């Protein structure tokens, strides 16, 4: 679906459900059926306080329904921070950080990181002279194979 079609679909199918959910939460508080300081009360209050941000996907075409991509990206750097405790030198840590950044850039550009890094290593002289050619988003596996041959 196009972003506009997806928005129309969500507005017709999910919009009424979300409206009903908001009304139910408000009714629970109005009828004092939920203690505001309880775990459930705090969770429901969070929903109400952040309603505009949580439902942007019902108003903006192309808005993602979740932030999974951002979460996955952040997770890689948290793992890197954890693993960096085992680098023996500052230089080793700097190399590890550089590789982690390159690998994540490859992932975001849907590039095979292993193939990309091999391509750069096999062409390191040219990569030093023409770094713009060797950016991850410029990597084309078929062209890289032709250069290696």
Residues 130-138: contacts with CB under 8 Å, at least 24 apart: 136/102, 136/105, 136/106, 136/109, 136/111, 137/105, 137/109, 137/111
Domain spans in the chain, listed from the N-terminal domain onward: 3-58, 68-148
pLDDT, tens digit (0-9, with 9 covering 90-100), for 49-105: 999 999 999 999 988 878 888 888 888 778 877 777 788 888 888 888 888 888 888
What is the pTM assigned to this prediction?
0.51
- Of 84, 80, 102, nearest in space to 93 by CA: 84
């Amino acid at each position: 679906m196009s972003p506009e079609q997806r928005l129309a679909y969500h507005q017709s199918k999910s919009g009424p459900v979300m409206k009903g959910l908001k009304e139910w939460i408000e009714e629970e508080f109005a009828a004092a059926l939920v203690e505001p300081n309880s775990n459930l009360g705090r969770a429901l209050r969070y929903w109400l306080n952040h309603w505009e941000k949580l439902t942007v996907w019902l108003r903006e075409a192309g808005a993602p329904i979740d932030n999974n991509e951002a979460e996955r990206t952040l997770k890689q750097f948290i793992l890197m921070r954890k693993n960096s405790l085992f680098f023996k030198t500052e230089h080793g840590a700097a190399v590890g950080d550089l590789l982690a950044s390159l690998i994540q850039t490859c992932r975001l550009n849907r590039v095979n990181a292993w193939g990309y890094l091999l391509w750069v290593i096999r062409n390191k002289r040219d990569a030093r002279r023409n770094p713009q050619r060797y950016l991850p988003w410029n990597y084309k596996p078929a062209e890289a194979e032709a250069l290696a041959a």
